[in-house]
Amino acid sequence: MSQKPKEPGDRREFFVKLGIGAGLVALGGQGLASLRSLVPNVSYDSPTTVKLGYPQEFPEGMKFLPDQRLYVFREGKVLHAISAVCTHLGCTVRAEALSQVEVRTVEGSPLRLTHRFLCPCHGSKYTGDGENVAGPAPRPLAWYHLSIATDDGQLVVDLARPVERSFRLTLA
Amino acid sequence: MALSPESEKPQAPGVHPRPLWSLDPASDRQAGDAIVSNFVFHWFPAKALKDSLAWRYSLWLGTVSAALLLLLTLSGLPLLFLYVPSVERAYGSVKDIEYVITFGYWIRSVHRFGAHFMVAAVFLHLVRVFLTGAYKNGPGRGQHREWNWLMGIGMLLLTLFLSFTGYLLPWDQLAYWAVTVGTNIASAVPLVGPQIRELLLGGRNIEQATLIRFYVLHVIVLPGGLGVLFAYHMWRIRKDGGLASADQAASLPAKVEVPPGRTKTYTLLGIARGTGPTIRASSIEAADTTVSSIPDLTRRIAIVLLGTIAAISILAVFVHSPLEEAANALVTPNPAKAPWYFLWLQEIVTDTTIKLGSFTVNGAFIGGVILPGLLVGLLAVWPWLDRSPTAAAGRWFPQSRRRQNAVFLLLVLAVLLLTFVGTFCRGPYWQLYWPWQAWVELPTRI
């Protein structure tokens, strides 16, 4: 009889498939493990809550903080902060002083606009309150939350906490 | 007394009394032997079709690209010893290569020019292959030129990524802001974008983890991938029966059925015993359409290879490579321009932010992800959409491919035009200027 008994063939086939399957699982596992090892578990990034110095050190008008990529505006006792990170592709926008100061009501509160912002990478333009008016920027510049540190009275910005454009920090 | 070719009796294939006989074979027999037995030459067929070798058809752009790849590998080796991939020392080490190390500026310049010319050569090679319809299969059996087309697109992308990762390594201002923009384009991909950016950067900010990732991609991962694809690309050219322009020559004489029945058949590598196979003869053996690869093919390869290397090496003596200021996360240069081959992309990410009422789509997504993705996707599937006849393959500007060639050339022209605008017509704050117009003076510090 030429026909082989069925069982050994099945067993061989089963082991071949098992071997191939185990090989694939091993390769896939190695691949996934290698890829996963490249995803950082611990962030060594600088913290998002940063002390910026004492409020009285901030001049009347605008101050650029390059490390935080932040513009801090001060009008007497009232402060607010606008991000310098372009919403298009993340370059640092530059402030250009306006020849004439403009007062505009932004989200219900009056705001003196002394500058406008221009991006050197793709030409986005923002008004002094961060509104995107020209170029490829899809969103207004972010405003960040300001507060006074309870321990030493320094100005604190929370770069992880965007706020409405009506936000103001009024010093006591 | 020199041995006459006829009296020369090799003891075995490839064993000949003269040293370097394979570079200067005395007979066709020796020329064929040399191809089969030589480590370098065995890539090539013993006989090459004359049509494949024509200068005017292929312009030898693929060989130029390969020559540049070789030159880049060679010039990259010394740089690998001299460059330090750390954010504190990368800029200083490149500065040393440029100004302190003997011949350093020349090696760096060769590497840089090689890269620029390779982007151009690979792109022009793709343009040539499209215009001549060389991704189309001819009458030969087993041809799959569309696979080589796909691999070619893959190699163009790898070349671009190699350039991108390469110009980051000096860690100067160009590098830093290119990574900023490049990885923000990646993060514009829906759903997984921010994760892709974090994987590329090795964190949320551009720091040491970023530099080492781009370094490893540049020196190992991408060149490795390119090397594998290159080898496969060359192998497929042989499998596909040479260049598309030679398809006609290869099938010109009527195919002759040789009746079976012989007991032995001489093949290239030895004697096959038993009943002889049915041979469908083609002109690959015909004297009027083919030449011996040595010296006709090897001579031309040598000319292209040495010519390319010489041109770049001489150019690099006279033109030094730029090095911008050290990377400064605090100041974006104004204007911040990508290298010329990415300026068309910089243009389209600038121009494609779409506002529909209160709904805004970032140009980073449309211009940086969707449009390039569409272009690459369309190129990739084109061999399956192309309905032009087989006879149109391997010829410049055939009538039957006029319309698709025109559309393709329009797209190429658009890319070139945007590149021109980005290179010559964009000034501070990415404003439009005429090339001859002076840029406004801006304070360098805020």
Q: What is the pLDDT of residues A127-163, one digit of tens each?
A: 988 888 888 888 899 999 999 988 888 999 998 889 9
Q: Residue B445 in contact with residue B367, Cβ under 8 Å?
A: no
CA–CA separation, B434 and B425 (whole Å): 5
Per-residue pLDDT of chain B (446 residues; tens, 9 = 90+): 344 454 455 566 667 778 888 888 888 888 888 888 888 888 888 888 888 899 999 999 999 999 999 999 999 999 999 999 999 999 999 999 999 999 999 999 999 999 999 999 999 999 999 999 999 998 877 889 999 999 999 999 999 999 999 988 999 988 888 888 888 888 888 888 888 998 999 888 888 999 999 999 999 999 999 999 999 999 999 888 888 888 877 765 555 555 555 555 555 555 555 555 545 545 556 677 888 888 899 999 999 999 999 999 999 999 999 888 888 877 788 788 888 888 898 888 888 888 777 777 887 888 888 999 999 999 999 999 998 988 888 889 899 999 999 999 999 999 999 999 988 888 887 888 888 888 876 655 44
Q: What is the pLDDT of residues B348-402, one digit of tens each?
A: 888 888 877 777 788 788 888 899 999 999 999 999 999 898 888 888 989 999 9
Q: Residue B340 in contact with residue B137, Cβ under 8 Å?
A: no
Q: Which residues of B touch A64 (CB under 8 A)?
A: 446
Contact assignment for A122 to B331 by CB distance below 8 Å:
no
B220 touches A: beta carbon within 8 Å: no
Q: Kindly report the average pLDDT of chain A as a whole number.
A: 87
Query: Vertex B294, ends B51 and B4: CA angle to 5°?
Result: 130
Q: Which of A69, A71, A92, A133 to mutate to test the interface with B (most CBs of B within 10 A)?
A: A92
Q: Residue B272 in contact with residue B265, Cβ under 8 Å?
A: yes
A140 touches B: beta carbon within 8 Å: no
* Cross-strand pairs, A80: A73
Contact assignment for A92 to B331 by CB distance below 8 Å:
yes
Within 10 angstroms of residue A158's Cβ, the number of other Cβ atoms is: 16
**Predicted TM-score (pTM) of this structure:** 0.87
pLDDT of amino acid B63: 96
Q: Which residues of B touch A41 (CB under 8 A)?
A: none
CA–CA separation, B33 and B16 (whole Å): 10
| ipTM reported for the complex, 2 dp | 0.80
Contact assignment for A43 to B203 by CB distance below 8 Å:
yes
Which 3 state secondary structure label does DSSP give A161? strand
Q: Which residues of B touch A69 (CB under 8 A)?
A: 330
Cα dist from A1 to A13, B19, B45, B109, B208, whole Å = 22, 63, 50, 76, 72
B381 min Cα distance to partner chain A (Å): 29
B359 min Cα distance to partner chain A (Å): 9
A97 touches B: beta carbon within 8 Å: no
Q: What is the pLDDT of residues A27-38, one digit of tens each?
A: 999 999 999 999
Nearest to B203 among A40, A89, A94 (CB): A40
Which 3 state secondary structure label does DSSP give A147? strand
Contact assignment for B353 to A123 by CB distance below 8 Å:
no
Tokens of residue B84, six digits: 């330090």
Write the CB contacts of B49 (distance below 8 Å, at least 6 apart in sequence): B242, B243, B246, B249, B250, B283, B284, B289, B290
CA–CA separation, B258 and A110 (whole Å): 96
Concatenating the DSSP letter of every residue in B287-309 gives TTTEEEHHHHHHHHHHHHHHHHH
Residues 103-132 of A with CB under 8 A from B: 118-123, 125
Contact assignment for B203 to A88 by CB distance below 8 Å:
no
Q: Which of A166, A169, A168, A167 is nearest to A155 (CA)?
A: A169
B398 min Cα distance to partner chain A (Å): 41
Q: What is the pLDDT of residues A73-86, one digit of tens each?
A: 988 888 999 999 99
B198 touches A: beta carbon within 8 Å: yes
pLDDT of amino acid B2: 46
B370 min Cα distance to partner chain A (Å): 15
Contact assignment for B332 to A39 by CB distance below 8 Å:
no
Q: What is the pLDDT of residues B297-317, one digit of tens each?
A: 999 999 999 999 999 999 999
Instruction: Please report where in the chains the tokens 């690099």 appear, as a residue.
Output: B316
A127 min Cα distance to partner chain B (Å): 15
pLDDT of amino acid B3: 47
A66 touches B: beta carbon within 8 Å: yes
What are the phi and psi torsion angles at B322 (to 5°)?
Answer: -75, 155
b or e along B51-82 (b: 16 or more beta carbons within 10 Å of the residue's beta carbon)?
bbbeeebbbbbbbbbbbbbebbeebbebbeee
B199 touches A: beta carbon within 8 Å: yes
pLDDT of amino acid B271: 56
Nearest to A138 among B335, B351, B353 (CB): B353
B18 min Cα distance to partner chain A (Å): 50
Q: Which residues of A touch B213 (CB under 8 A)?
A: 38
Reply yes or no on whether the pLDDT at A170 is more than 80: yes
Reply yes or no on whether the pLDDT at A8 is more than 70: no
Q: Looking at chain B, which residue has its C-alpha nearest residue A43? A: B203
CA–CA separation, B355 and B358 (whole Å): 7
More confidently predicted of A44 and B321:
B321
Question: How many inter-chain contacts (A to B, CB under 8 Å) are there?
Answer: 101
Nearest to A121 among B203, B209, B430 (CB): B430
A136 touches B: beta carbon within 8 Å: yes
Instruction: Please report where in the chains the tokens 């359409």 appear, as a residue.
Output: B289
Concatenating the DSSP letter of every residue in B405-446 gives HHHHHHHHHHHHHHHHHHHHSB-GGG-B--TTSPPPP--S--
Contact assignment for A94 to B335 by CB distance below 8 Å:
no
Within 10 angstroms of residue A167's Cβ, the number of other Cβ atoms is: 17
B203 min Cα distance to partner chain A (Å): 6
A122 min Cα distance to partner chain B (Å): 5
